[in-house]
């Protein structure tokens, strides 16, 4: 990455940089990038799956999560 490109990216607004990050990530995935989980990430997922299996009714419906995020960050 050139210094000029980095300077241009840093000049973008926070929202524009976030959008750019999303587009870049999607382009990596579309190109076949498939990163491996770290042992820590795998352990966390295993713990969460085990906890869910023990108590599958302990969930928050998507609608409630979305409403909470919309209230906190504003609807797009």
Same domain, 44 and 31: no
Exposure pattern of 20-43 as b/e (b: 16+ CB <10 Å)?
Answer: eeeeeeeeeeeeeeeeeeeeeeee
How many domains is the chain partitioned into structurally?
2
| Domain containing residue 70 | 37-76
- Answer for the pair 28, 20: CB distance below 8 angstroms, yes or no: no
Query: Is the confidence at residue 76, as pLDDT, over 80?
Result: no
In the chain, the N- to C-terminal Cα span, in Å, equals 31
- pLDDT tens, position by position, 6-50: 999 999 999 999 999 999 999 999 999 999 999 999 999 999 999
H helix or E strand, kind and range, residue 21: helix 14-30
Same domain, 10 and 41: no
Q: Which two tokens stand for residue 74?
A: 């504003």
> How does residue 74 score in pLDDT terms, banded at 50, 70 and 90?
confident
């Amino acid at each position: 990455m050139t210094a000029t490109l980095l300077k241009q990216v840093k000049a973008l607004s926070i929202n524009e940089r976030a959008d750019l990050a999303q587009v870049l990530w999607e382009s990596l995935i579309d190109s076949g990038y498939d990163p491996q989980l770290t042992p820590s990430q795998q352990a966390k997922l295993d713990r969460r799956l085990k906890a869910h299996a023990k108590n599958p009714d302990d969930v928050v419906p998507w609608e409630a999560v979305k409403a909470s995020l919309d209230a906190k960050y504003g609807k797009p």
